[in-house]
Amino acid sequence: MTRSRFAKLATLATILALAVVMLGAYVRLSHAGLGCPDWPGCYGRLAAPSQPEAVAAANAAFPERPVHTAKAWKEMVHRYLASGLGLAILVLAGLAWAGRRSAGLPVGLPTLLVALVVFQGLLGMWTVTLLVNPSIVTLHLAGGLATLALLWWLTLSQGRLWVAHVSPELAALRPWAWLGLALVGVQILLGGWTSTHYAALACTEFPTCHAGAWWPPTDFAVGFSLLRPVGVDYEGGVLDGPGRTAIHLTHRLGALVVLVYLGLLALVLVRRAGQPVHRRLAKVLVAVLALQVGLGVANVVTQLPLALAVAHNGGAALLLLTVLTLVHSLRPAAGDLAVRPDPALAGVAP
């Protein structure tokens, strides 16, 4: 297995991971997260019950959750695709270990991905068994995006993508790019928390919240309590208005912070960039950032249509990958690493 072929397989796995994340968002936003009340099957079957006899048997076995065939199939297709992603990651890890000496393939990151995908499977199970508990569902979303990000990093590093000369001025921006990545990660978690608490429409206006108020009554203690009672069905949400409003407004403030920070970072990057690669990357960052903010506003103004809500999740994933690409592009290439003499040896003859 050559490095270039390994990079192509990592690219395919990254695309599959993005599809899993998008489909997971669609399942959650279409209220199909409990389309199958058990795990890993669906009403005790490997496929969602569709035939009348199968539906009747499923309803008898799970009277508390009657079969909704369309929702059950959405959930099962997501599980099938996620299983395919897990298999692809196992293949990548196996190839990495097999080619660690002959091709110099990395083994640390693929092994980490295997552990992460196993944990993701557990979170998927707990999402169902704990009745879409907000903390578990948010962790599941974070795990999916972490898997996507690590696969993309593997693709970038093995495919030698977005690599260019990094001047000292550009290299100084790398810590700031890491901070931008951290801010995007926090904002994604806030977005997941907003979605899992059904708080996306806690504010029905923009830029005000509702009834012309910028800051209506809020309850941050309730909204951001990480300990939720076990055994409660959280589908549809259980918080009152002030708790949901606190979550929504925090997400809005987070979006403003990310917009200003990444916008300034892109501006500085354009001014310091000496290579076309970094100028293009700055333009991509601005475009994705504008798209994501526009989708967020449109979701409020149009009252959260499913297509826009799913697209907003996709925009978050693209923004994460874009900033991760920026971090990677600011790594010094091999030719940029100069050997600096030790000052203690100055003047000493060889």
Catalytic residues: 75
Burial of 174 (0-12, 13-18, 19+ CB in 10 A): middle
Whole-number Å distance between alpha carbons of 294 and 286: 12
Nearest of 144, 199, 187 to residue 309 by alpha carbon: 199
C-beta of residue 2 within 8 angstroms of C-beta of residue 101: no
How many Cα atoms are found within 13 Å in the side-chain-facing hemisphere of 128?
22
**H/E element, 48:** none
Distance CA 332, CA 177 (A): 14
Angle (nearest 5°) at CA 295 between 290 and 299: 155
| Distances from the Cα of 343 to the Cα of 144, 159, 336, 347, 348, angstroms | 48, 37, 20, 9, 10
Coil, strand or helix at 149? helix
Neighbour count for residue 133 (Cβ, 10 Å): 21
